[in-house]
């Protein structure tokens, strides 16, 4: 009979999912940064790419502390979110609108990560893994900050800039 999973195994499963999700992002974010036009947005994505590489290392540290091999398990949800972002980039949108879409896709990704890290942080605390919980909390804070930054960039610049894009084209045709 297969061994029954316990709470610790569930924590490790969730961590494997996050490790794969972060690794997918280290491959996808360079393309998203290249597709972005607004310099502030491009920089924010590049900055978060570097953070993401650190998050992979932080997860590897977590596995080490738990005495488990740092092996990912394919995260289908992140694959779907990345696919949606790729589909948007293939849409041939004016750059102002593409930036809005890239923020939308990126914020969905950040929220998925926030859900994942919040859960494993709390599970680690329940299981008494204080240092692990601390590491996961650090990443959670980074994801939250990245999400807030995207909202700020949208409000200050990217959404405003995109507001009249379709209208202007109509006027030119008249």
Report the C-alpha gap between 58 and 53 in whole angstroms. 9
Task: Give me the 48-87 binding string for Fe ion, x by CB under 5 A, dash otherwise.
Answer: ----x--x-------------------x-x----------
Report the C-alpha gap between 153 and 160 in whole angstroms. 10
C-beta separation of 168 from 128 below 8 A = no
Task: Give me the 83-122 binding string for Zn ion, x by CB under 5 A, dash otherwise.
Answer: ----------------------------------------
Report the C-alpha gap between 18 and 117 in whole angstroms. 8
Binds Zn ion (CB under 5 A): choice among 2, 4, 5, 8: 8
Residue 19: DSSP 8-state: H
Report the C-alpha gap between 146 and 1 in whole angstroms. 45
| Piece in contact with Zn ion (CB under 5 A), picked from 48-56, 98-106, 123-131, 150-158 | 123-131
Nearest distance, CB of residue 54 and Zn ion, angstroms: 24
Q: Does 165 bind Fe ion (CB under 5 A)?
A: no
Query: Which residue, 17 or 99, is less far from Fe ion as judged by CB?
Result: 17
């Amino acid at each position: 009979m297969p061994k029954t999973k316990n709470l610790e195994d569930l924590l490790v499963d969730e961590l494997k999912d996050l490790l794969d999700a972060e690794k997918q992002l280290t491959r996808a974010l360079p393309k998203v940064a290249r597709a972005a036009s607004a310099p502030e947005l491009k920089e924010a994505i590049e900055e978060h790419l570097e953070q993401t590489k650190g998050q992979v290392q932080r997860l590897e540290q977590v596995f080490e502390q738990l005495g488990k091999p740092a092996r990912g398990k394919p995260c289908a949800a992140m694959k779907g979110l990345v696919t949606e972002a790729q589909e948007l980039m293939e849409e041939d949108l004016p750059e102002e609108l593409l930036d809005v879409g890239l923020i939308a896709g990126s914020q969905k990704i950040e929220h998925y990560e926030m859900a994942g890290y919040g859960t494993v942080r709390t599970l680690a605390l329940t299981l008494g893994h204080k240092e692990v919980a601390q590491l996961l909390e650090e990443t959670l804070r980074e994801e939250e900050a990245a999400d807030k930054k995207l909202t700020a960039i949208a409000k200050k610049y990217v959404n405003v800039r995109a507001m009249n894009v379709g209208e202007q084209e109509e006027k030119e045709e008249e």
